Amino acid sequence: MFCAAIHLGSSPTALVVPDLIAAGAGIFLLIGLWTPVNGTVIAVAEGWIACVHTGDALVPILLAMLGATQAIIGPGAWSIDARLFGRKHFTIHDR
């Protein structure tokens, strides 16, 4: 398994840093600042957490999928990103 190779040399710092990175990106995601970047950071950090931490990996995997989804979808209407950069509107024309 891929995660078994990562888990071999884990130190206490390697166990705490991904949690802090994910928490910081989550705060930026809550206020809606740099949404695609923070969604990607959350997906990577939670994937790392799922591999490094022992125990149930279901929650970090779910959070990684939600972070990736948020990175793809982008900011909402009331986010700071929407105020700074504008909303993207897609129009589908009839054929």
- Which residue's entry shows tokens 């959350």? 42
In a domain, 15, yes or no: no
Closest C-alpha to 36, from 64, 65, 68, 66: 68
State the pTM of this model: 0.77
Closest C-alpha to 54, from 7, 1, 5: 7
Question: Confidence band (pLDDT; 50, 70, 90) for 7?
Answer: low
The reported pLDDT for the residue numbered 13 is: 75
Structural domain boundaries enclosing 47:
32-79
The identity of residue 58, as a single letter, is: L
In a domain, 57, yes or no: yes
pLDDT in tens, 28-63: 988 889 999 999 999 999 998 898 887 889 999 999
Indicate the DSSP class of residue 32.
T
In a domain, 50, yes or no: yes
Number of residues that this document lists for the chain: 95
C-alpha 68/C-alpha 88 separation (Å) is: 19
Our count of domains for the chain comes to 1
In a domain, 25, yes or no: no
In a domain, 4, yes or no: no
